[in-house]
Structure 1
Amino acid sequence: MTSTRQAAAHEPIARVLPMLTVPHLDRDFDYLVSAEQSDDAQPGTRVRVRFSGRLVDAFVLERRSDTDHDGRLGWLDRVISPEPVLTPEVRRLTEAVAARYAGTRADVLRLAIPPRHATAEKKPSPAPAELFVPPPEAEHWARYRGGDQFLTALGDGKAVRAVWQALPGESWPTRFAEAAAAACAGGRSVLAIVPDQRDVDALAAAAAQTCGADTVVALSAGLGPSQRYTRWLSVLRGSRRVVIGTRSAVFAPVGNLGLVLVWDDGEDTLAEPRAPYPHAREVAMLRAHQLRCAAVIGGFARTAEAQAMVESGWAHDLLATRETLRAASPRIVALDDDGHAQERDPAAHTARLPSMALRNARAALDRQRPVLVQVPRRGYVPALACAKCRAVARCRHCTGPLALTSGGSGATCRWCGRGDPALRCATCGSTEVRAVVVGARRTAEELGRAFPGVSVITSSAETGIAEVAEGPALVIATPGAEPRAPDGYGAALLLDGWALLGRADLRAAEDALRRWMAAAALVAPGRDGGTVTLVAEAAIPVVQALIRWDPVGHAGAELAERVALGLPPGAHMAALDGPPDAVAALLAESRLGEPEMRAEVLGPVELPAGVRRPAGLPADAEVIRMLVRVPRGRGLDLAGALRRATGVLSARREHDPVRVQIDPLRIG
């Protein structure tokens, strides 16, 4: 049947990438294109090819006149769609992400391009709106040093990069929308990445006002297949110029991209849970670097990764003056929950709150203002800390977190597995330790008994609300689910500080400060009576950073400490999870132990608590974790070595697959 086909007269060979799951087949293959298929089988289109006796989906990468294949070429089975969904820009980004995270291009493409919906594809997208966006007013951006010049540079199409520290009480969606309007006024498109649907809705509404509703589209996983693909096609076809979405939208095929925005880059939801596990912040900044376009990372707090971009000179600070900051900030106090004040105040004991925190809340309610109570999420892993200075106990060999063993033989490192029978704090020298455990559950009922007659509102990730009405109310929320108050909260109570600070995680302090600042930013300024009470010891550095509202100083100190300890982003790490024999084979094949790689192998240890087992393994199979650490400048070498070794072992089929994660958010 195929012998009667006539090859295309022009460029009869299509080089395609099959969407195969095995790493050793992550390469291009050549197929013949028939004359009937030639017009539709263009670069970027979806096709179907026969591979090893079965039909698989593939993308056309290019059309060619010749091939380097020695044998006989097969024919394209059919063209699934003539829509060129894989643009050259997204293809280049896909290849870079696969190299950065030791993954396959097929896995990255599954994240980048949504499944086809034939009905949606047949519908024409709206005609591109005439892009006339007036330059935004710079009044609010002028509160930040260089903010007005920053907007001007965006309008001029310059590749300015900044890490923006939003002031307390700042309407970040409005500021982001103004930045988008500046880029649009210069004739460029905008891509904004935010953590969740609530943020998508807020930013889309603000952008519609400044840039025009016809230019804005929101992409998120919550959309149905048809609606999601319809909106994605409107971006591909140039109908929408301001694209807002969650982590997968970072790959959206935005044409003429001039500005990339990322809000709250420390949020866990920006880390992709599917292979090859890229972080949306890293992909967004990689895309900005490839296209030489502007980029902004914004937040009330700051991650060590964002600070590293500033210190390297890749981005610059966008900060307000201290005078402006003091005028916008609420009054912040920290109180240790030692129980002395509670003994003198039965109501405080009932609510498990220090007496002063209770008074601040009552004062806000008397002023007819709502009160926010932030309750940490449950389920954090216990750790050890110094009983004197509260510094988290770390391994003297690899700086990993220490935890008590069930046998009572001392502490064991969760990274390298070495024991430490005689603990001594590296900060103050104390030999006394304390167990840091999950904070006691603060329920709405308990707090309701301390504030009789006040309405109680709860908000969580599952039952989140966007905004509360004016008037006295007690709003109990988990981090990230705090609703806004029209004129700001009169007070905020941040409970169980040690439940956040005591996690066995290198990002514990950073995450705690980010969550506290996100809640404190919703409180009215101190000049209007706004007060934030944190239940934690005031002498702890991260607590001091909150009191001074100094996220930049804390991020700088955090980065310096991680560089000294050899932790990301001061170094690159790979986590290898799988059966012991498979992990050993991967390490041997990657040759990471050779001196020129300058790699340090840590472990093995048991798979950390809360980490999912690799897919495809029997339920009773033993799973271990090994960590590989290399200097900052060897990250691509590490990923490349693991990527090649994974392909070799995949071809041999002698071992179960090993899950490889480069710079995972949760190392141990």
Structure 2
Amino acid sequence: MSRETDPVLVARVVVDVPLAHLDRPFDYSVPEKFAGTVQAGCRVRVRFRGRLVDGVVWELADSTDFAGSLQPLSHVPSGEPVLTPQVARLVRTVADRYAGTAGDVLRLALPPRRAAAEKRPTSTPDVLPDAPGPAGFAQYQAGSALLAALAEGRAARAVWSALPGEDWPSRLVELCRATLSGRRGSLVVVPDGKDLDRLEAAAARLLPEHSWTVLRGDDSPEKRYSRFLAASRGAAQVVLGTRAAMFAPVRDLGLVVVWDDGDDLHADEHAPYPHARDVLVQRAWLDRCAAVVAGTARTAEAALLVESGWAQELVADRAVLRAAAPRVQALGEDFELARDPAARSARLPSLAHETARRALAAGAPVLVQVPRRGYVPSLACARCRAPARCAHCAGPLGISPRPGPGGTRIPACRWCARPAATFDCPHCHGTKLRAAVVGESRTAEELARAFPGTSVRVSGRSSGVLATVPGGPALVVATPGAEPVAVGGYGAALLLDSWALLGRADLRAGEETLRRWMNAATLVRPASAGGHVVVAADAAHPVVQALVRWDPGWLAARELADRRALGFPPVTRIASVAGSPAALAEFLEALRLPEGADVLGPVPEPPRPGQEGERERYLVRVPRGQGAALAGALAEVQGVRSARKAAEHVRVQLDPLDLV
């Protein structure tokens, strides 16, 4: 019950304290000197347990249930309301979904303050655009209807499979333009800066000036905060960004879009580890707005959205698809095996070599995708094939692309960088090493010898990512996600080392392999213009069949059915609980699991650089409908352990991408 005292303005503040048992707003009185400045959503400084800490005003009230005397706000750096009511509601929802705290989510949602940026006025667009013409989406069934729904402000939901060679940045901006014509805002999240550059260029062509802004995680703090304010003040109604933008305070939100939702860059590495796709789906539900999950490939999570009826499939007719797609061949086809019996084991079989040669002769560039970066990133014992490990820290041994003194390349640990001039296998005592995986730098060397006189370019994290390449004859070696766009499209693409992708012990190996292959193949010219894709894999494999037929929806539905039969996400929800054996035993003893929960484990947690002591991991699995109950139970135990000042931390992550 509220205290019967003189009226007082009360600020309910979420304090920036990383303790689970303090995950709630605390009441503070607002001194008269701050009464005209403080607003819901502004930043404040408060005294908490004897020290000054940062906080955000969750809401303002005129009474409190606290029985004692309220402490006053210590300082109000700015009255700028950086946390809108809609984002505050989303923050609480995401924290509850992932068994985290509001403070954890706020650290992801709010960029650091820069006072100078708050003093600068923000520009607003002069006019709103007309709705775009339907030509771009006319190739897709119900594409025109989607644009019309957005312009009318209806909450349409779609899972869009983009055509090969599609100018997807322009299509996404057309969705934003249609929404903007109906006086509502849009939020588009893409995996990385390379994609964001293309999206930004399309927005500059198709949207009115000052109507949009870009949020990048790698921008300077000043620029990022200025652009954040443009969105929170309602000046820029279209926000484009990478994962950091998923909490952007877009006013009158009418559309959320995530591109290439299977990319692991969409999963945040900081607690509570939210995924951009799931956050945007939650935003669409909370704000009753439209949502589009888009990509060249499709995930099982997107397939579940279609199967459940939450979203409609947006695809092109097969005739349109066949006209846009390149020709795709696999090395395991019977004709090719008869012509080249060594095709199964050769790294660059005759079909791939001949395809590249024809494309180069026609004056077109050739894309060569290799799954690993570096020179020889992984070594194994030449006798027993066991992975080669560092004798000092047990890290993996590899060979750097940079030669050492005298031009030699000595194996070294990829964790501690100690050279391994000698090797003694602990399993068979073999002393010789072999390459377990070949990276893009070594592949470029091999191709330069196979195609003498041909320009070879490399695009990858270790050598630098290229955004574009000219349209002339050249070999472009790239790792997945680093494929540059070729002017006029590639004449051919060679997808090498398929075993390194398909053979991974990972729940998502199949869908992730198809996503990487399709993202590369979509950069190739149509078959009618000579475009040709060669995949070094068995033609009978379901993932290869999906690529040959260009049918990501079929594979995603198959993956979803398999996971339902096995009880894996997304039809269930799984929590990973990791820590020392003693801490995990204490945690699980206190955990009140919902009905139908399975506890799997423990298994040793994979070692990480700098990690000390033995660590284990359990997986806790529940039916999807019990996901909220599981998150609540995990958060409750974390709160109890926090209040008791447990010495050892237990890492809790819901819906982890990696279950191995």
Please show how residues 500-539 of structure 1 align to structure 2 within 5 Å. Answer: 500-539=501-540
Secondary structure in structure 1 of the residue aligned to 2:75? strand
**Which stretch of structure 1 is more off in the superposition, 600-609 or 241-250?**
600-609
Residue 137 of structure 1 pairs with residue 121 of structure 2:
no
In 1: Cα distance, 2:7 partner to 2:254 partner: 36
Q: Secondary structure at the match of 1:286?
A: helix
Q: In 1, Cα distance between the equivalents of 2:368 and 2:99?
A: 42
Q: 1:438 to 1:141 in 2, by over 3 A?
A: farther
Conserved? CA contact 2:232–2:250, under 8 Å: yes
Q: Equivalences for 1:36-435 in 2 at 5 Å? A: 36-126=33-123, 128-336=124-332, 352-377=347-372
Contact 1:183 1:258 in 2 (8 A): yes
State the secondary structure of the residue aligned to 2:494: strand
Unaligned runs of at least 5 residues, structure 1: 1-7, 383-402, 407-436, 614-618
Change in 2 beyond 3 A, CA 1:262/1:336: same
Q: Distance in 1 between matches of 2:26 and 2:256?
A: 34
CA distance in 2, matches of 1:343, 1:304: 37
Structure 1 residues 116-125 or 299-308, which shifts more? 116-125
- 2:8 touches 2:29 (CA, 8 Å); kept in 1? no
1:639 paired with 2:639, answer no
CA distance in 2, matches of 1:63, 1:225: 29
Instruction: Give the TM-score, by structure 2 length.
Output: 0.87
Contact 1:117–1:226 (CA<8 Å) still a contact in 2?
A: yes
| Larger deviation, residues 218-227 vs 208-217 | 208-217
Shift of 1:458: 0.8
- Between 196-205 and 437-446, report the one with greater CA deviation: 437-446
Q: 1:600 aligns with which of 598, 601, 604?
A: 598
- How far does the alpha carbon of each residue in 1:240-287 deviate from its partner, in whole angstroms, 9 at most, with x for none? 111100011010110011111110000011100000000001001100
CA distance in 1, matches of 2:534, 2:456: 19
Maintained 8 Å contact 2:602/2:617: yes
1:151, 1:179 within 8 Å by CA — same for their partners in 2? yes
Distance 1:630 1:608, change over 3 A: same
- Is the CA contact 2:125–2:208 (under 8 Å) kept in the aligned structure 1? no
Residue 413 (structure 1) aligns with: none
Q: Is 1:658–2:659 an aligned residue pair?
A: no
> CA 1:265 to 1:344, structure 2 compared with 1: closer, same or farther past 3 Å?
closer
Distance, in Å, in 2 between the alignment partners of 1:350 and 1:663 is 37
The answer on 1:447 being equivalent to 2:447 is yes
Q: Distance in 2 between matches of 1:503 and 1:73?
A: 57
Q: 2:196 is paired with a residue of what secondary structure?
A: helix
Letter in 1 for 2:556: A
Which amino acid in structure 1 is aligned with residue 42 of structure 2? T
SS at match of 1:628: strand
Aligned-CA RMSD value? 2.6
CA distances 1:310-338 after superposition (whole Å, capped 9, x unpaired)? 00000000000010111111010111499
Q: Is the 8 A contact 2:378 2:437 kept in 1?
A: no
1:469 matched to which residue of 2? 470
For residue 380 of structure 1, report the CA deviation from its aligned partner: 9.8
Q: 2 CA distance for matches of 1:542 and 1:287?
A: 32
Tell me, what secondary structure is at the counterpart of 2:176?
Answer: helix
Note the C-alpha offset of 1:72.
2.2
Instruction: Output the CA distance in 1 between the equivalents of 2:554 and 2:78.
Output: 52
| Cα deviation 1:564-588 (Å, max 9, x = unaligned) | 1111101100001111121122222
Contact 2:347 2:497 in 1 (8 A): no
Q: State percent identity of aligned pairs.
A: 53
For the residues of structure 2 that align with 1:109 and 1:612, how far apart are their CA atoms?
Answer: 28
Q: Which residue of 2 aligns with 1:648?
A: 640
Residue of structure 1 in register with 2:404 after alignment: none
Per-residue CA distance 1:615-652 (angstroms, 9 max, x = gap): xxxx5322111110001111111101000110011111
Matches of 2:436 and 2:209, distance apart in 1: 45
Is the Cα contact below 8 Å between 1:578 and 1:659 reproduced in 2? yes
User: Could you tell me how far apart the structure 2 residues matched to 1:352 and 1:217 are?
Assistant: 45
Contact 1:351–1:447 under 8 Å retained in 2: no
Which residue of structure 2 aligns with residue 626 of structure 1? 618
Secondary structure of 2:113's counterpart equals: coil
Secondary structure of 1:577's counterpart equals: strand
Q: Is this contact kept in 1: 2:369–2:480, CA < 8 A? A: yes
Alpha-carbon displacement from aligned partner over 1:75-121 (angstroms, at most 9, x marks no partner): 11111211111110010000000000000000000000001111222
Residue identity matched to 1:587: L
Cα shift at 1:344:
7.3
Give, in angstroms, the shift of residue 12 of structure 1.
2.1
Offset at residue 60 of structure 1 (A):
1.1
For structure 1, which segment, 52-61 or 462-471, has the greater mean C-alpha deviation from structure 2 after superposition? 462-471
Q: Distance in 1 between matches of 2:365 and 2:576?
A: 45
Cα distance, 1:351 vs structure 2 = 8.4
C-alpha spacing 1:271/1:451, structure 2 compared with 1 (3 Å): same
Q: C-alpha separation between the residues in 1 aligned to 2:345 and 2:559?
A: 37
SS in structure 1 at match of 2:487: coil
> CA–CA distance in 2 between the matches of 1:56 and 1:533?
58
Q: SS in structure 1 opposite 2:249?
A: coil
Structure-2 separation of matches of 1:139 and 1:183: 17
Distance, in Å, in 1 between the alignment partners of 2:157 and 2:632 is 28
- The 1:214/1:66 distance shift into structure 2, 3 A limit, reads closer
Farther off after superposition, 62-71 or 216-225: 62-71
Give 1:10 shift: 5.7
What's 1:25 paired with?
22
1:139 is paired with a residue whose SS is: helix
Q: Distance in 1 between matches of 2:253 and 2:451?
A: 52
Cα shift at 1:160: 0.2
8 Å contact 1:351–1:446 — kept in the other structure? no
Q: Is the 8 A contact 1:16 1:58 kept in 2?
A: yes
Residues 9/171 of structure 1: CA separation in 2 closer, same or farther (3 Å cut): farther
Equivalent residue number for residue 560 of structure 1? 561
The 3-state SS of whatever aligns with 1:181 is helix
Q: Which amino acid aligns with 2:627?
A: G
Cα 1:26/1:612, change in 2 over 3 Å: farther
- Alignment correspondent of 2:396: none
Change (3 A) 1:209 1:153: same
Q: Structure 2 vs 1, CA of residues 71 and 20 (structure 1 numbering), >3 Å: closer, same or farther?
A: same
Q: Secondary structure at the match of 1:36?
A: helix
Contact 1:220/1:249, CA 8 A, preserved across alignment = yes
Asked whether the 8 Å contact 1:133–1:184 carries over to 2, the reply is yes
| TM-score, normalisation: structure 1 | 0.86
Q: Distance in 2 between matches of 1:199 and 1:461?
A: 15
SS of the equivalent of 1:629 reads strand
272 and 577 in structure 1: CA distance in 2 versus 1, 3 angstrom threshold: same
CA distance in 1: counterparts of 2:378 and 2:154, whole angstroms: 45
